[in-house]
Amino acid sequence: MSRHDERHPVIRRNERRSVLRRPARAVLGAVGALALAVGAQAVTTVPAAAAPRPIGQCTTRSGAVLAVDFSDWGGPILRSCGTTPTTGYELLNQGGWRTTGTGHDGPAFICRIGYSGFKGGKQFPTAAQDDCVLTPPATAYWSYWHADPGANTWKYSQLGAMLYKPKPGSVDLWIFGGTNVEGTQGRPTVTPDQLRAHNTRPTGGRAPAPHETKTAKPLPPGTDTGPAPERPAPEHPVPERPVTERPAPKPKPKRTTPPSPSASKKPSPSPSPSTDASPSADADAPKAAAKPSTEVVDAAPAADAAHDSGSYVPAVVTGALVLLVGGAGVHAARRRRRTE
């Protein structure tokens, strides 16, 4: 073995130089690239296209209604209104709404949802329930449902929130729980008619959104927001079986099916296709009629929940610790060699 250690002095010097310089060059390059990237940061100031509106501004043929079911955390189904054109993601990130993605999939995968008017803007599920690092399990995630204008059945979204563009007069619903591949389990227990706007013209005055309302900035130029909304959504067969078995990881006392559509708080004046019997209309659902349906509460456009970007002190402390520990290792190795 030791014969490999006999080296020419010139070679040794060369080796030392290259070993020393290569990481240094790499670090310099990385820093330079980062500086360039930050310097190239461009913020466009195009007026916002999508905006949050009071719920009265949504009508049967304008605006998109957003509904989020917080019943797993003892909350109501919150209902908001936003202007179109928009994306499902934008709708869910304006007027006090905020989402968190996963570390693995980025912000496009909705892992947490929060509204500044519900429990102080805390986002659910909490970090203790799901750390949002990897893709959440199919048994507990936010599933995304659409109802087109006039339709009274939910369609499981075939597109992600960033790609889907709600049609004017449509309803977007986010429910937390599990679904199966066939779409027979974990369907919403409310009907689109319970959530959608039924007024044909805006009510509650034409007052615009409050001034402090923060609206999502427009996407940078060149953003692909997916196929055009006019594309007919795939009419995949929606099985109208009752929710017989739900893979419930935890008890959901409030998530019960209402006995009939007439139990909804807002009777539907619009004639909905009668063939589209909502799944909740089946009275033979085993868990049906145990409790009244989760109440629907209107969520007014609000300011974003305060965001604290934290302190940089822990990073500095870590830097000092890394230097201390790493320096101790280098020092010990050198000393060991010297005394050997």
Of 254-283, binders to another protein (CB under 8 A) are none
Pick the binder of another protein from 183, 218, 229, 259 (CB under 8 A): 218
Task: In whole angstroms, give the CA distance from residue 125 to residue 178.
Answer: 13
Give the footprint of another protein on residues 178-197 (CB under 8 A): 178
Q: Does 232 bind another protein (CB under 8 A)?
A: no
Residues numbered 42-81 forming contacts with another protein, rule: CB under 8 A: 42-43
The residues in 233-252 that bind another protein, with binding defined as CB under 8 A, are 247, 249
CB 74 → another protein: shortest distance, Å? 20
Q: Is residue 229 packed enough to be buried (19+ CB in 10 Å), middle (13-18) or exposed (0-12)?
A: middle
Judged by CB under 8 A, the chain residues 6 through 45 that form the site for another protein are: 6-8, 11-16, 19-20, 23, 26, 37-38, 40-43
Task: Choose between 220 and 267: whose C-beta lies nearer to another protein.
Answer: 220
Cα–Cα nearest to 146, from 180, 169, 125:
169
Using CB under 8 A, pick the residue from 219, 238, 297, 303 that binds another protein: 219
DSSP state at residue 57: G
- Of the residues 205, 222, 232, 251, which one makes contact with another protein according to CB under 8 A: 222
Nearer to another protein, 217 or 236 (CB): 217
CB of 126 to another protein, least distance (A): 8
* Of 74, 205, 221, 271, the one binding another protein by CB under 8 A: 221
Stretch that binds another protein, among 51-59, 225-233, 277-285, 292-300 (CB under 8 A): 225-233
Q: Which two structure tokens, joined as six digits, stand for 209? A: 């959104």
Tell the residue number behind the tokens 């209107």, with chain if given: 298
Q: Which of 120, 141, 162, 191 binds another protein (CB under 8 A)?
A: 162
Q: Is position 339 an interface residue for another protein (rule: CB under 8 A)?
A: yes
- Any bridge partners for residue 99, and if so which? 113
Stretch that binds another protein, among 52-60, 192-200, 275-283, 305-313 (CB under 8 A): 305-313
Within positions 79 to 138, which residues make up the interface with another protein, using CB under 8 A? 89-90, 93, 100-101, 103-108, 127-128, 131-133, 137-138
Minimum Å gap between C-beta 280 and another protein is: 24
**Using rule CB under 8 A, residue 334 touches another protein:** yes
Dump the DSSP string for 232-267.
Answer: PPP--------------SS--TT----SSGGGSSS-
Using the rule CB under 8 A, which residue among 204, 227, 269, 292 binds another protein?
227
Q: How many amino acids of this chain bind another protein (CB under 8 A)?
A: 88
Q: Which two tokens stand for residue 234?
A: 């795939």
- For another protein, which is the closer residue by CB, 137 or 292? 137
The binder of another protein chosen from 139, 184, 199, 268 (CB under 8 A):
139
